């Protein structure tokens, strides 16, 4: 059975490219338009990996990670940040919030799928 | 006895002029940027749709080619050439997916510029409001005090605006970004 990835990003074009890349590699993708939507979808279905943007309306990526880590079913689910942010300060905040990795946009689809495979197989 | 000339009216006209003209131009900048955002959003929607349709068509074509190769009807030279072309297509697809992420970054940068422009209009508005308070027959000391007040308010507003507009996009090119696993 294909593993499921929750892709959270307020940019429709970015979500489209993430979904395209991961579906081509055999994963199922659930899309969410911001952190709040991502949290609701994550509560409805426990996924194998969360890939989230940082700067989004309603709820940002760091807040989403902290909220997910507060849920028993998401304490061990890998969470990767995929964001334009690249400062060490933001990466440290992501790590402290519970992120397992940091990918700076734009992403290369081959590299993205390699990382996802490395993390969840 | 000659009437004493005061700078009040000139200073007031200068401040009001800078405020009104500046605000008018910034509003035009914001309108153009919003229009650019709309055009870019439509462009990326169409580009993304066309890209996916093109990829689906090429994948279907590839399946047909694979069937012909399996059936042994294609000459071996053509099979080798088709494999090279397939690799080329995969590289172009990778490159297109990376490039098609431009709108995510440009929209963030444009949004930040629009917010900065709107903030600057507020600053200029302050200039006009305080400028309006300059009395026609005010003395130099009174004008100097008002100008000092304007400077302080402008500086405070400028600092506040800077703190609100953190730069989240530092990319200069569409090369793929770094990956770090913790």
Query: Parallel, antiparallel, or unpaired for β A49-52 and A101-104?
Result: unpaired
Assess if residue B182 is contained within a domain.
Answer: no
B80 vs A74: which has the higher pLDDT: A74
Q: Is A103 helix (H, G, I), strand (E, B) or coil?
A: strand
Nearest beta carbon to residue B177 from set A20, A106, A110: A106
Q: What is the pLDDT of residues B103-125, one digit of tens each?
A: 999 999 999 999 999 988 988 88
Assess if residue B178 is contained within a domain.
Answer: no
The verdict on a CB contact (< 8 Å) between B104 and A13 is yes
Could you please report the per-residue DSSP string of B42-74? HHHHHHHHHHHHHHHHHHHHHHHHHHHHHTT-S
Low-confidence ranges of chain B (pLDDT < 70): 1-5
Q: Which letter does DSSP use for residue A79 in this model? A: E
Assess if residue B33 is contained within a domain.
Answer: yes
Residue bearing tokens 């609701």: A40
The verdict on a CB contact (< 8 Å) between B108 and A55 is yes
Going from N- to C-terminal start, the domains of chain A cover: 4-120
Residue bearing tokens 């709309």: B38
Q: Which superfamily, per CATH, for A4-120?
A: Response regulator (3.40.50.2300)
Based on the structure, what is the number of domains in chain B? 1
- What average pLDDT is seen over chain A? 95
Tell me the residue range of the domain where B144 lies. 8-164
Assess if residue B41 is contained within a domain.
Answer: yes
Q: What is the pLDDT of residues B10-19, one digit of tens each?
A: 888 888 899 9
By a Cβ cutoff of 8 Å, what residues of chain A touch chain B?
A: 9, 11-14, 16-17, 20-21, 54-55, 83-86, 91, 95, 99-111, 115, 118-119
**Which pLDDT belongs to residue B145?**
84
Chain centre to alpha carbon of residue B61: 39
């Amino acid at each position: 059975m294909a593993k499921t990835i929750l892709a959270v990003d307020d940019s429709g074009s970015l979500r489209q490219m993430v979904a395209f890349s991961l579906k081509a590699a055999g994963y199922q993708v659930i899309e969410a338009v911001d952190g709040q939507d991502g949290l609701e979808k994550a509560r409805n279905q426990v996924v194998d990996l969360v890939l989230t943007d940082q700067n989004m309306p309603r709820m940002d990526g760091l807040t989403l990670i902290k909220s997910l880590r507060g849920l028993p079913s998401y304490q061990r689910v890998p969470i990767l940040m995929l964001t334009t942010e690249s400062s060490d300060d933001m990466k440290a905040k992501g790590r402290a919030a519970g992120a397992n990795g940091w990918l700076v946009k734009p992403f290369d689809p081959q590299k993205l799928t390699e990382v996802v495979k490395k993390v969840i197989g | 006895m000659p009437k004493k000339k005061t700078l009040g009216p000139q200073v007031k006209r200068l401040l009001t002029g800078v405020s009104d003209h500046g605000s008018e131009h910034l509003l035009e900048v914001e309108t153009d940027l919003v229009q650019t955002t709309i055009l870019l959003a439509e462009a990326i929607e169409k580009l993304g749709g066309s890209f996916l349709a093109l990829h689906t068509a090429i994948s279907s074509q590839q399946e047909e080619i694979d069937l012909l190769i399996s059936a042994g009807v294609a000459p071996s030279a053509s099979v080798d050439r088709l494999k090279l072309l397939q690799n080329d297509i995969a590289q172009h697809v990778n490159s297109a997916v990376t490039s098609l992420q431009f709108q995510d970054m440009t929209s963030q940068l444009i949004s930040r510029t629009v917010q900065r422009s709107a903030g600057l209009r507020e600053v200029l508005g302050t200039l006009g409001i305080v400028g309006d308070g300059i009395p026609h027959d005010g003395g130099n000391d009174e004008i100097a005090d008002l100008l000092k007040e304007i400077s302080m308010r402008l500086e405070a507003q400028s600092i506040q605006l800077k703190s609100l507009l953190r730069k989240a996009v530092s990319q200069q090119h569409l090369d793929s970004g770094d990956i770090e696993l913790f």
